[in-house]
Structure formats: C-alpha cells, structure tokens
C-alpha cells in the first residue's frame, strides 16, 4: 500500500519558520510508522531528522505527535492509519532542535529535581534489604516509565503553564514516595506539594491515554494529591 505523510520540518539554524513537507512511501500494513520514516530518510530525503533507537518501545527515543496524538513512532502501525494522511510533528511545548527532534534537557532536569534515587535509612545490610512483595507491587506500574515524554507533551495544562513540573516528573516522584525502602517520604511529598507541582494537574487524563507503557499516570498523581493532603497545611 502507499502511505501519505505530512511532516513538520524546521531547521532553526537556517530558517525562521517551520514548514510542512509531504511524502509518499510504499508500506506493508504491518510496518511501523518508524519504518516509513526510515524509508523516507534512507530512500528519498536524507535531510529529515528524528530520533530512534530500540524500535520497539523500550528506549523512549521516538516520541512525537502522530495525527495530533503523542506517541512512539515505533509503536504505531501503518494499518491503523490506512486511507489517511499521517501528520507527524514534534512533541508540543518542547523546543525544536530540528524537525521531529526536541530539546530534552528541561524535561530531564525536572525529573532530576525529584531526586530519583533511593534514599534509604542507615547502612545497607550485608545482603538485600527485605521488602514485602505487596510493597514492591506498589511501584509495578511506574517502573515501566521509559522517559519518552509523551505524557508531558500530551498534557493540556503544560500549554498554559510551562512551569508545571509535568506528569513524568510526578511519576518519578511517585516511584520513590511509594518505595517502602525509601526514607524521604515527607520531604518528597513536600517537594511536589505546591501550585506548579501536583496541584497543577486538572485530571484531563491525556497523559494516561498517551502513555505508551500504559502507566495510570493520572491515578498516580491523584494518589500523590491525597497523600499530600494528609501531610496537613503547607
């Protein structure tokens, strides 16, 4: 089958404004959208830029907006877009480096601010720390995060408020707040208990719908809100 693509193009180094370019490419219904991008770049237009690495939704490189919906190009199949023109754009709100490639530093910085590492009490024992499997299960969903930024790109609040820490940072806060081995429960909660923290979330659920790893992002954020409320007045 033949697929039609319209792709966001912008090289901020040489042009003031972005433009869109159309491509036609032959594809098998089982191909990934990423396969089509590769075919375009390898066979037609080597100037097109995008990120990719593992090609099966584990590394998180190829987050982009596909027909208006944030997702991974390697997880979307051609057959689901049959008969449509596919519009590919970079993740919204992220500064564009070139074409579909966006700046990730700000996104990672906000996750880093959550201190995403274990802060356990005291010296570690000789062997492993013991952890009840029920406690371990509390982080089952969130450890699926691959830092692809699709949730943050999809969040409508981010459009209005660039200072919101964003859903991905909150997922990482949740990861350690809910880890029974960690000792910073209060401090971590306080760190997100402010207007641009957990309270910016308005329950649009777009993050949950966008997450390619099916993490219940909004539910996690709501849990954090409840836990923060339990801490008492700020």
Partner 1 sequence: MVFKHDVVIVGAGLAGLRAALEVTGKGDVALISKVYPTRSHSGAAQGGIAAALGNEEPDSWEWHMYDTVKGGDYLTDQNVAEILARDAPRAVYELEHMGVPFNRMNNGKIAQRAFGGHTRNFGEAAVKRACYAADRSGRVIMDTLYFEAVRKGIRIYPEFQMLDLVFRDGQAAGLIAYETATGRLHFFHCRMILLATGGYGKVFKTSSNAFASTGDGVYLPYRAGLPLEDMEFVQFHPTGIHRLGVLISEAARGEGGILRNSQGERFMERHAPTIKDLAPRDMVSRAIAMEIREGRGIGGQDYVHLDLTHLGEKKLEERLSDISSFVRIYLGVDPAREPVPIAPTCHYMMGGIPTSTEGEVLDLQGERVPGLYAAGECSCLSLHGANRLGCNSLLDLVVFGRRAGQKMAGELARLPWQEAPERPGEETARRIARLKEKGTGEKTGVLRAELQEAMTLHCSVFRTEESLQKALACIGELQERYPRVRVDHKGDRFNTDLLEALELECLLGLAEAMVHSALARRESRGAHSREDHMERDDDRFLRHTLVCRRGGRVRVDHKPVTVTRFQPRARTY
By the criterion CB under 8 A, which residues form the site for partner 1? 11-14, 30, 32, 41-43, 45-47, 49-61, 75, 77, 97-99, 101, 104, 112, 115-118, 120, 124, 126-133, 136, 139-140, 143-144, 146-147, 176, 179, 181-182, 214
Nearer to partner 1 by C-beta: 38 or 200? 38
* CA distance readout (Å), 64 to 97, 101, 123, 146: 13, 8, 43, 14
Nearer to partner 1 by C-beta: 12 or 156? 12
Nearer to partner 1 by C-beta: 54 or 195? 54
Smallest distance from partner 1 to CB 203, Å: 26
Q: Which residues contact 153 (CB under 8 A, 6 or more apart)?
A: 63, 65, 70, 91, 92, 93, 94, 210
- Name the residue with tokens 């909660």: 189
Nearest to 114 by CA among 197, 202, 199: 197
Nearer to partner 1 by C-beta: 12 or 162? 12
For 67-151, strand residue ranges (E) read: 69-72, 85-89, 96-98, 101-102
Smallest distance from partner 1 to CB 142, Å: 9
Nearer to partner 1 by C-beta: 42 or 194? 42
Give Dmax over CA atoms of the chain in angstroms: 62
Nearer to partner 1 by C-beta: 2 or 132? 132
Nearer to partner 1 by C-beta: 2 or 130? 130
Smallest distance from partner 1 to CB 15, Å: 10
Backbone angles phi, psi at 64, to 5 degrees: -160, 175
Smallest distance from partner 1 to CB 96, Å: 10
Smallest distance from partner 1 to CB 47, Å: 4
Smallest distance from partner 1 to CB 191, Å: 15
Smallest distance from partner 1 to CB 59, Å: 4
- Tell me the chain's radius of gyration from C-alpha atoms: 20
- Rounded Cα distance between 216 and 76, Å, is 20
| 3-state SS class at 72 | strand
Backbone angles phi, psi at 7, to 5 degrees: -120, 135
| Other beta carbons less than 10 A from residue 165's beta carbon | 23
């Amino acid at each position: 089958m033949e697929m039609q693509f319209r792709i966001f193009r912008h090289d901020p180094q040489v042009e003031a404004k972005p433009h869109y370019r159309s491509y036609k490419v032959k594809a098998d219904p089982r191909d990934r959208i990423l396969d089509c991008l590769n075919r375009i770049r390898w066979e037609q237009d080597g100037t097109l830029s995008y990120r990719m690495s593992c090609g099966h939704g584990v590394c998180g490189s190829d987050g982009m907006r596909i027909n208006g919906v944030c997702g991974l190009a390697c997880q979307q199949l051609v057959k689901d877009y049959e008969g449509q023109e596919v519009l590919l754009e970079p993740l919204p709100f992220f500064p564009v480096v070139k074409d579909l490639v966006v700046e990730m530093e700000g996104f990672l910085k906000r996750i880093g601010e959550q201190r995403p590492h274990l802060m356990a009490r005291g010296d570690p024992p000789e062997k492993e720390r013991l952890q009840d499997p029920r406690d371990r299960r509390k982080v089952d969903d969130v450890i699926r995060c691959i830092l692809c930024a699709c949730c943050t790109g999809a969040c409508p609040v981010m459009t209005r408020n660039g200072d919101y820490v964003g859903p991905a940072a909150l997922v990482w806060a949740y990861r350690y707040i809910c880890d029974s081995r960690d000792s910073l429960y209060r401090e971590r909660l306080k760190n997100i208990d402010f207007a641009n923290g957990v309270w910016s979330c308005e329950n649009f659920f777009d993050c949950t719908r966008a997450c390619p790893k099916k993490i219940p992002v909004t539910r996690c954020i709501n849990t954090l809100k409840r836990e923060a409320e339990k801490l008492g007045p700020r």
